[in-house]
Every structure is written in C-alpha cells, then in structure tokens.
Amino acid sequence: MPYQAPTADQLFVLKDVLGLETYANLPKFADAPMDLIEQIVEEGAKFCENVLAPLNKVGDTQGCKWLPDNTVTTPDGFKEAYKQLVETGFPALAADPAHGGQGLPGVINVAFSEASSSSNMAFSMFPGLTSGNYAAIASRGSDEQKATYCAKLASGEWSGTMNLTEPHCGTDLGLLRTKAVPRGDGTYRISGQKIWISAGEHDVSENIIHLVLARIEGAPPGVKGISLFIVPKYIPNADGSPGARNEGVKCAGLEHKMGIHGNPTCVMAYDDAIGYLIGEENGGLSIMFIMMNEARLWVGLQGLSQAEAAYQAAVTFAKERLQGRSLTGPKNPDGPADPIIVHPDVRRMLMESKATIEGMRALLYWTILQEDLAHVHPDEQARQKAGDLVGLMTPICKAYLTDKGFEIASLAMQVHGGSGFTEHFPASQYLRDSRITMIYEGTNGIQALDLVGRKLPAKGGRAAMALLAELNAVAADAGEDPAVAPYVDALNTARERLQDATGWLMQNAMANPDNAGAASTDFLRLVTLAGLCMVWTKAAKIAAARVAAGDSNPFYANKLATGRFFLERIAPEGALHLTRMKTGAAAMMALPAEAF
C-alpha cells in the first residue's frame, strides 16, 4: 500500500483556491512563480514517497534505543535519510535568506511538510520541531545567538527541541521547578528534569539545540517568572562547529509509547548544564508561544497527514478486498464476490474521510497563507487582519484536524476489518501514531478553552469579526452559478449559527464561566465548520467553472461530487453543535465528583 503524495489537490489549493499568483507582487511571493511551486511540490513528493515512506514501518517496528551512555540510536535508515533531507534543502525553504534559507512563503513549504508527515510522521518530527526552535531564536535571539544557531537550524544540520513539561507540570507552566543560576559570565547553569521531549537525544544531526523553560533564582512566582534558555548538546566553537560536550545535559531514558516509535520521546536531565538566556529575564513565556503557535499549526498538519495516509490505505484495501455482492447487483460478475468499495457503508466511511481531508487541507493552507500575509503585506490593516485570523484559527486547526485525523485513521481500520487490527497492514500504525496529536502542544480541550476564553474576546472580538467579514466576502464573491448556490447557502447557514453561538456565549459565559467551558468544544466545531464551508465554496466555484467550460479532467467533477457529500453529510453537524452548546453547563456539572 504505497503512499502517494496528493500533489493534484495540493496544487489545486495553492493555485486555485488560495490564488497564490495574485500575491506575486508581495515580498517572498515574488520569488515563487507557479512553475517553481509546482516543481517544489512534485520533487518533494518524490523524496517523501521514495525515501521516507519505505522507512515508516521500519521506524515503527524497530523503534529508538537508549544506550547505557545516555545516547539514543534511531531506526535503520533514519540517519541516512536525514542526511539526504538536509542535502535537498527542503528544511530551509521558508527560512530567512540571511540564514541560508530560500525565503519562500510558508504556505509553499506546507505541501512538503504534509507529504513528509504522511509518509513518515516519526521522521518528520525531527525537522518539524527544529522549525519552531529556529523561529524562536530568529525572532528573539541576540545577534550573536542568531549568527551561531540560525543557519545550522535552518539547514537542518543541527536539530532543535522544546523543553517545557516536567513530571508535575504540564499545561500549568507556572508550576515548573527547573532553575537557572547566573554565573556572572553571561551563562547560566540549568538544573531540573523535563519529560516527553520529542527528539531530545538522537544520532541524526550533529548537534541538538534545546530551548528550555526555567526559573531564575528570585524570579516572581507563576508564569511571570519564567525565562527561556538555549542549552546546546555541544557548545558551538567560534567557527560554528560543535565543540565540547555540554556535560550537564543527558537523556535519562525513553518513554515506551503507543506510537511514533521512530522518534525518541526523552526524559531529559539537566544538572548544572550550560545555558544562554534568550530574550529578557522572566520573558520566556512570550517566546515560548512563538514556538508553541508554530508547533500547534504543525501538529494540525500531522492530523491531516495521518488522515490522508490512512485514507489512501483504506481505499487500496476497499478496491482489492472481495466480500459479498452489491445491493444493486454484482459489479464483479466474473469474480466470486464484489470489492467492498461497492457497499454503501464502506462508501460512507471513505467519503467522510475524503471530504473532510480535502476541506481540512484547504483550511490549513489558507490559515498558513494568513500567517505569511501578516508578515509581508504592505498594508498595515491587511497585516492586522491576517494576524488576527491566524491567532483565531491556530487552536481550531490544531484541535479539529487532529480530532479528525484520529477519527479517519479509525475509519480506515474499520474499512480494513479484522485485517486492520493486525500489524500486517498499515492501519494500526496510522491509528497509533495519530493519537498523540490530540494531546501534545496543549490538549484539544485546552485549544477549545483558548479559543473561547482568549482568542474570541481578544481586542474586542476583532478576530471573530474579521472571520465573519471573510465569510461574507466569499459568499458575495461566489457569483450566480446554480452549481455553487448550495455551497453559498451552507456558508450563510454556518455563519448564522456562528453568530448565534457567539451571542449566546456573550450572554451566558459572564454569568457562569462553566458555561463557556462546557460550550467550548462545540463552539470550536462551529467555527471550523464555517471555515470549511468557506473553503469548499471557493473550491466549488472554481471546479464548477471548469466543468461548465468542458474541462475533461475528472478532477473537477470529482471535486464537486466530494463537495456534495460535505454539504449533505458534514455541514449539517453545525445544528447539533449549536443545540448542545446552548444547554449550558448544568447537566455537565450536576453530578457530584464522588459519584463518578
């Protein structure tokens, strides 16, 4: 069941749905004509299909090994594949040219990142984590720190981590105990323990740069006293090469996990490790969110990627597995039975997967486009709007895409039947690998609370108003084509439900904060469905025009057929979410804790 990158749909989203060519006059976009974008997407697909995908099962079965000297080895082939990855230049696609990067928009890089994660999620975590590490240092590091670390991180020669969680301290970072002691020479000594550190120790890159949250002695309690430190595995020499071993940094063991076996999840022990403050003292939280927000979008991409890979495996199985006969008569009369893809319930699972994946892809790519525009658009109001939309959509992309990634992986296992429950087929690995995405970088319940408690009311609700304006603009731009009218109707209905839900929150959350918490996940789904209706309307407008013009490429007719399933089977879920959130918190909180 070989993985094939969905390049046709990726390019359709980039070129047609997002209209990247219309931004050709903007910085970064000016250096990315469509023929270059197509080349990047197609060459990236080949690398993922031919180099990374064959190692996915290897990584799952072999896993990583922790050795007595506190080092970690990765599965066979990972080290060589990582070297090839660095040589291709793909890790540096969106990095600043000042750091040796190509300076392309992030939305172009996302197509390769999706294919990389679909083909081998565990492997893709090495460069994925490094990207957030690079972003933090490039944004807030000193000139010396940027000169020392950014080029190596951008290329992937050095990899990076995020060290946040401690044994007693996960989401509530104000409880962290890792301490930092200034030594008077510009360095600090870092001591403490961090857990669940992905890629904390390994053999694929020549140096590992840890970004570690710690508290300087005498710092204020809670999150106001958190600082961020660069703690390299090897102290860089003046010429930029890895120097002496930072002896205070050790991997104290590996977690035994449900999935992503090819990426080491480490317990990291810091014992007077040499660290360098990044940014200001007690200013670590804001820098951490640079990493965290980038990571949350990347985790959403992981949900999409595992959904795509699992769906492809399910389609292959459904076309080959012979069981029973079609309810409307044999479709394989010369065989002993029909392939199971003829059965309506199998079609239900495959169509739900396909329609959800294509909508999620367009919505995630659209969100990352807003992130690009927030940085490069010459108009201040346009930058503000794009930044507001990114902030609003980040928890949505993280939560919804990972929820659905796991659900689609589960549907893929169901399509496989008993075969999916064995390790002879890939369905089990996709299910196991995808499950962590709903947990790390803030559980999906935390994302929903962040949306309702912080993102929605921020700056007087400016981001929500920007999204509503965008929904209105897409509906108005859809034109009079009867083939697109059902999408516009669904979009308008989704917008009305979202406005209704927002009004309900404003009236009820202040009176009882539990109402906001109880409504948060359903509200997140309502926002997501509105976004999905928006991108499906944009896609349908283009596809319908191509079909009407007589385009013989079946891609466009198939896009409309998939969109019809979305309209009839997925978009109506908004009514359920609105009804549920309006019940408030009473039933949810009525049962005493001791009764559970």
Q: How far apart are CA 464 and CA 229, in angstroms?
A: 35
Looking at the annotation, which residues are catalytic? Answer: 441
Length of the chain: 596
Whether the Cβ atoms of residue 298 and residue 113 lie closer than 8 Å to each other: yes
Structure tokens at 260: 């992503």
Q: How far apart are CA 269 and CA 248, in angstroms?
A: 8
Q: How far apart are CA 263 and CA 124, in angstroms?
A: 9
Cα 148 to Cα 83, 95, 140, 301, 541: the distances in Å are 21, 15, 14, 30, 49
User: What angle do helix axes 121-140 and 78-88 make, rounded to 10 degrees?
Assistant: 50
Within 10 angstroms of residue 400's Cβ, the number of other Cβ atoms is 30
Alpha helices in 321-379 (DSSP H): 344-376
Structure tokens at 138: 């490039």
Instruction: Tell me which DSSP letter residue 298 carries.
Output: H
101 Cβ partners below 8 Å, 6+ apart? 92, 93, 94, 95, 154
User: What angle do helix axes 344-376 and 106-119 make, rounded to 10 degrees?
Assistant: 140
Instruction: Tell me which DSSP letter residue 237 carries.
Output: P
Q: How far apart are CA 584 and CA 523, in angstroms?
A: 12
Beta bridge partners of 208: 159
160 Cβ partners below 8 Å, 6+ apart? 129, 130, 132, 133, 134, 153, 208, 209, 210, 211
SS3 472: helix
Whether the Cβ atoms of residue 330 and residue 338 lie closer than 8 Å to each other: yes
84 Cβ partners below 8 Å, 6+ apart? 47, 51
Largest CA distance in the chain: 83
Torsion sign (Cα): 82, 84, 88, 89? positive
